[in-house]
Amino acid sequence: MGYLLMVISLPVIAIHYLLTPILILAGLFLVTAHYGIVINAAQKRYKAYWGVLGFKSGRWRVLPEIHHLFISKKNYSQVYGSRGTSSQIRFTIYRGFVKTLDDENIEVSQSKNKSKVLAGTKELADQLQVQLLDGTTGT
């Protein structure tokens, strides 16, 4: 969507020169906006942040005592329809979490690719020296 706005803004420059920068900025915002989390294992703190155009906004918090890390999966489906015809898309999202002793779940990764979530969550489990449970297979 963001790329589309930036491409559309190019021909608009001939029609309305003030609208072009607004479309380009909106496109850049959509392309670069993301959510993330940074965990500093050595200092036992974490920061959940929103990032836009390379800037990250969030505050550091004390990382509660950790019980374990785990991976879960959730199946989704979306139905698209138009004038009597429809199609359904099914997909799975894998998510990695830190489970604290306070029974809080802190999401640390999310992807449609299980190996990507598993690799990142395993690396974090090794740094924090805690067990990683794979809730997608029952182990």
State whether 107 and 41 are in the same domain: no
Nearest to 96 by CA among 114, 84, 110, 82: 110
State whether 122 and 68 are in the same domain: yes
Q: What pLDDT does 30 receive?
A: 80
**Distance from C-alpha of 121 to C-alpha of 66, rounded to nearest angstrom:** 14
What is this structure's pTM? 0.66
Residue 110: which CATH number?
3.30.730
Which H or E run includes 61? strand 55-62
The SS3 call for residue 137 is: coil
Q: What pLDDT does 93 receive?
A: 93
pLDDT at 25 over 60: yes
pLDDT tens track for 36-50: 888 887 888 888 888
State whether 56 and 92 are in the same domain: no
State whether 57 and 88 are in the same domain: no
* Total domain count, the chain: 3
Beta pairing, strands 105-111 & 85-100: antiparallel
pLDDT tens track for 95-108: 999 998 988 898 88
State whether 76 and 20 are in the same domain: no
Q: Which domain holds residue 16?
A: 2-32
Q: What pLDDT does 132 receive?
A: 92
State whether 81 and 114 are in the same domain: yes
State whether 40 and 96 are in the same domain: no
Q: What percent of the chain has pLDDT over 70?
A: 86
